[in-house]
Amino acid sequence: MGIDYTITPVPNPTNQNALQSTEQICKNCSVNLLEQAHLRGCPSFLFAGIKEEKPSLTASHLLNKRLDLIKQGKYAEISFSFKALTKITKALYPGTVTLFCGAPGSCKSLFLLQQLNHWHDIAVPACILAIEGDMEHHMMRALAQRTLTTGLTEIEWIDANYEEAAKILEDCEIFTDEFAQTIHLPDKKLFNLDTTVAWVIEMAQDGKRIIVIDPVTKIPNGAAQGWTAEANFINQMEEVATKYGISIILVTHPKNGLALKPSMESLAGSAAYSRFSHTILWLEAHDEITGNVQLATGPDRVTYNRTLHTLKARNGNGQGVADAFNFSIEGLLMTECGPITKK
Q: What is the pLDDT of residue 41?
A: 47
Contact 249, 109 (CB under 8 A): no
How do residues 85-97 score in pLDDT, each as one tens digit?
Answer: 999 999 999 999 9
Contact 122, 80 (CB under 8 A): no
Nearest to 53 by CA among 95, 4, 13: 4
* Amino acid symbol at 247: S
Report the C-alpha gap between 261 and 172 in whole angstroms.
41
DSSP 246: -
Q: What is the pLDDT of residue 256?
A: 77
How do residues 15-31 score in pLDDT, each as one tens digit?
Answer: 444 434 434 433 444 33
pTM (predicted TM-score): 0.81
Selected residue with higher pLDDT from 199 and 43: 199
Rounded to whole angstroms, what are the CA distances from 77 to 58, 73, 209, 256, 316? 25, 9, 10, 34, 12
Q: What is the pLDDT of residue 149?
A: 97
- DSSP assignments along 93-153, one per residue: STTEEEEEEE-TTS-HHHHHHHHHHHHHHTT--EEEEE-SS-HHHHHHHHHHHHHT-GGGG
Angle CA(187)–CA(189)–CA(191) in degrees, nearest 5? 60
How do residues 302-326 score in pLDDT, each as one tens digit?
Answer: 999 999 999 999 999 999 999 999 9
Backbone angles phi, psi at 26, to 5 degrees: -100, 0
* Amino acid symbol at 296: A
How do residues 99-156 score in pLDDT, each as one tens digit?
Answer: 999 999 999 999 999 999 999 999 999 999 999 999 999 999 999 999 999 999 999 9
DSSP β-bridge partners for residue 244: none
Radius of gyration of the chain (CA): 25
